[in-house]
Amino acid sequence: MRRVVYSVSFVDDADRISEYIESRFGARRADAFIADLNRFCELVADLPGVGRRNHGYETTLYGVVHD
């Protein structure tokens, strides 16, 4: 199994999104979002080559869209 490593910018963005969700829909929904995002990232890590390489960012990494 591959290991998921989150960049600081990813964590910061996820935290901001979670805070927004919590302010609009409550802590339970925000927690569900973070849990779903973690599951999604773990699934992607187990599927090398999934995603797009032509995503407009200067990296050789593949990009995927979550919801």
Instruction: Check if the beta carbon of residue 62 is closer than 8 Å to that of residue 51.
Output: yes
What are the residue boundaries of the structural domains of the chain, listed by start? 1-67
pLDDT of 67 over the 90 cut: no
The pair of three-digit structure tokens given for residue 20, joined into one six-digit string: 């927004």
Predicted TM-score (pTM) of the model is 0.73
Q: Which residue has the higher pLDDT, 56 or 30?
A: 30
pLDDT of 47 over the 70 cut: yes
State the average pLDDT for the chain. 86
Q: How far apart are CA 36 and CA 34, in angstroms?
A: 5
